[in-house]
Structure 1
């Protein structure tokens, strides 16, 4: 209102500076979030999201990561603009912010619901999830909607979970729950794990990620059929929605969407309750004794310290006296020949073993040669540590022969198991290999590293992540 009044008096004041000022002010007149022309004119795509493991978070090297971050960033670049992320704490805040014109779109893992369809438009679907009732091991164990009437159930306010529960209550009038307008789904899962809440409802992708950090969480049953996740845009944003549809079709057809989901959710399937619970206990009780050695060795050979620590756990469960039937031993399970080549005189000395293992891993990384994506070189090096450099090179050859990207771990890991099939390994220089083994090896190390990173970064945690489940 103020700049309209000023611009209306420009006939009275004819100074050049004033005219230029009015031009700047009026350039913003009529700007509307969600309108493609305005997005390109301002040079930014304003993305409303949440800070959470499935959306946007700061990962390795203090760089942003997450499915929604990656997708929205790629889409913004396709428009020739930069993404600007605006964070909200809850679904309700996200929807209200979009209604208030604070952003061009919501990228936060939201499902389509009739209520949201009446207020906003949706972009293309990009992921299928199922609503799941999640409780804790040793606590209430409902196996049906009827059984939910007897548990303390709390869900996120203004979520698709509320809409689903409201629909179910029409046929199950005893069903009751509380809504939480301040906490997100991840926070409610943490309350369940800590014994402060019986159960909650969460999408399957969120559950899969968080069970790795909170191993006492259990899936009671599915509350819904599979549902689609999609971006949300202001009603009437037809040009923006069409641009999203076209871009997502190309992103999916190129295989990039599949690679993205494999990168973020591939490890979620690597879940073993007993193993994970043992691991988080050892993070508390054993890891501090060796953390300094991992940091020193990683720094000496330019390796990610948490990856090195996770590899040591995979090799020996952080047992410096570990010995296998094949003769490898120590924290990093070095062979006698490898230890001699690395100058490790006592494989049972944890400092010497860790430093030797780090040196060997760094050497393998260097010997991989060119053509591998920088962010993937550590995975190839770990695979070589497990199965040998020759088999890694064979897997890359076969990957290229099959028309896939030989420098991308996501592609090579799918081809690696073929090294155990005669029709493939007969034509490779190094022959047969247990090809699935290095894939599992790398997956487990990545999983251990992620859990370790999360555990070390936890704030206001209950007294012990590895505590026995409440009885």
Structure 2
């Protein structure tokens, strides 16, 4: 009898627990992120998404995801998934809160994920290698070549649609490679064609100047973050609010401009010349760049990029204004730095690196994302002129601490209306804009083409060896 009563009580207690659990409200997706203190974000390696820059992690998707995590007051946990199918499966299974990976919005994908508001437009384009094949005019000219694309990409969806009017069109989907690696295979002549988005092509053409765009596959498409499909819209609503705020404040436009505008005016024709000097000149000085970088907490490839912009890695270079040496130091600057011989490459590189570091420290009021670009502009045109233009930018209603705003106004130093109001007067304000853009591109090319960062004092045997697709 006692056992029966005990069993009855035990069953009642279990039932009560089930009912209590059923009545307890479940945490929403947003509450789960806030409670955990962590935002889990899928992304991809690449110059348009996420990579290691001169001062740490960089890329448009990384910057936006970091800002959203800051907006929520949680830490950002990035999970790199270069395989798109794995990314979508992971989202459906709740292994990540969202994907910020340069994803095109398509109808087929809408059945798998919920897309946030779009933040950028791109155009899918067919790419080939100049000189290897006649320029294709449409897909009728592509049938004889080998076309390879990223597996499970939006481009695969488009090609299936195009195949209805071009039934002979064939292609291979590569589940292991990203867009950057496929572009490199086209540049090397290992495959004939690939399809990539216009933003990726613009950036990667600096690494592979042989690439050419044949034609667009479609009208422009939108890029957006992806979230799991669910009746719970709490996190989606917060993402939507975040992008609305970013758009209204102008921050979104600033970030897109910051990540892409410097590429637009790059001289692609100069890349082969630069790469020739990578082979013939840079190995003689790489150990010096590495030593100077280590002593000043800088990326040696950034110092090398500055040196190339200044002198094309010629230690005996002399300008008409009297600056000379690898880092083209003025006589006054050299004396301040204690440099006895500006034409000695070791002294010039060490002095130039110290000068970059000292300017960088002077811009402690500038956010980290832009601080190095202000530093390089000051290396070129002088700290005083950059500070002058910060003042002009503020007068015009811009943000004096944003490089995209300041570089727009630097050319005003050539106009009497503006330079007569400044402390340091006239300057060729267009030059530091081009200067910074070129260095950013040289740095990106060095980072891409050098397979590893060698230990101090070691010179790589093959400087032009292609790296993995991860940037």
- Alignment TM class, shorter chain as reference: 0.7 to 0.9
- Distance in 1 (CA, whole Å) between partners of 2:364 and 2:151 is 51
- Distance in 1 (CA, whole Å) between partners of 2:68 and 2:48 is 18
1:391-428 Cα shifts (integer Å, max 9, x gaps): 12211111122222223323211221222223222322
Query: Which residue in 1 is equivalent to 2:256?
Result: 261
**Which residue, out of 216, 241, 261, partners 2:210?**
216
- Distance in 2 (CA, whole Å) between partners of 1:162 and 1:30 is 42
**Which residue, out of 239, 243, 246, partners 2:241?**
246
Do residues 159 (structure 1) and 153 (structure 2) align?
Answer: yes
Do residues 306 (structure 1) and 265 (structure 2) align?
Answer: no
- Distance in 2 (CA, whole Å) between partners of 1:171 and 1:357 is 59
Residue 183 of structure 1 and its aligned partner are, at CA, apart by 2.0
* Secondary structure, aligned partner of 2:119: strand
Query: Which residue in 1 is equivalent to 2:404?
Result: 410
* Secondary structure, aligned partner of 2:117: strand
Matches within 5 A, 1:120-159: 120-140=113-133, 141-159=135-153
* Secondary structure, aligned partner of 1:274: helix
Matches within 5 A, 1:161-180: 161-180=155-174
Residue 369 of structure 1 and its aligned partner are, at CA, apart by 6.4
Do residues 112 (structure 1) and 105 (structure 2) align?
Answer: yes
Residue 89 of structure 1 and its aligned partner are, at CA, apart by 2.8
Residue 223 of structure 1 and its aligned partner are, at CA, apart by 1.5
* Secondary structure, aligned partner of 1:149: coil
- Distance in 1 (CA, whole Å) between partners of 2:146 and 2:363 is 57
Residue 64 of structure 1 and its aligned partner are, at CA, apart by 2.9
**Which residue, out of 440, 443, 447, partners 2:437?**
443
Residue 118 of structure 1 and its aligned partner are, at CA, apart by 2.4
Do residues 328 (structure 1) and 323 (structure 2) align?
Answer: yes
8 A contact 1:298–1:308 mirrored in 2: yes
Query: So what's the TM-score if we normalise by structure 1?
Result: 0.85
RMSD, aligned CA: 3.2
Residue 375 of structure 1 and its aligned partner are, at CA, apart by 5.3
Q: 1:31 to 1:464 in 2, by over 3 A?
A: farther
Query: Which residue in 1 is equivalent to 2:419?
Result: 425
Matches within 5 A, 1:279-428: 279-366=274-361, 368=362, 371-374=365-368, 376-428=370-422
Query: Which residue in 2 is equivalent to 1:3?
Result: none
* Secondary structure, aligned partner of 2:141: helix
Q: 1:127 to 1:374 in 2, by over 3 A?
A: closer
8 A contact 2:98–2:227 mirrored in 1: yes
Q: 1:153 to 1:31 in 2, by over 3 A?
A: farther
- Total equivalences in the alignment: 447
Do residues 434 (structure 1) and 428 (structure 2) align?
Answer: yes
Query: Which residue in 1 is equivalent to 2:37?
Result: 43
Residue 180 of structure 1 and its aligned partner are, at CA, apart by 1.8
Query: So what's the TM-score if we normalise by structure 2?
Result: 0.85
* Secondary structure, aligned partner of 1:183: coil
Query: Which residue in 2 is equivalent to 1:83?
Result: 76
1:59-93 Cα shifts (integer Å, max 9, x gaps): 345x4332222222322332343333333231122
1:155-203 Cα shifts (integer Å, max 9, x gaps): 1122110111122222222322122223222221122122211110011
Residue 113 of structure 1 and its aligned partner are, at CA, apart by 1.0
Q: 1:356 to 1:10 in 2, by over 3 A?
A: farther
8 A contact 1:277–1:466 mirrored in 2: no
8 A contact 2:363–2:374 mirrored in 1: no
- Distance in 1 (CA, whole Å) between partners of 2:233 and 2:30 is 9
Q: Which moved more, 1:303-312 or 1:368-377?
A: 368-377
* Secondary structure, aligned partner of 2:118: strand
Q: 1:64 to 1:298 in 2, by over 3 A?
A: closer
- Distance in 2 (CA, whole Å) between partners of 1:360 and 1:38 is 47
- Distance in 2 (CA, whole Å) between partners of 1:64 and 1:339 is 33
Residue 434 of structure 1 and its aligned partner are, at CA, apart by 1.5
Unaligned runs of 5+ in 1: 1-7, 15-21
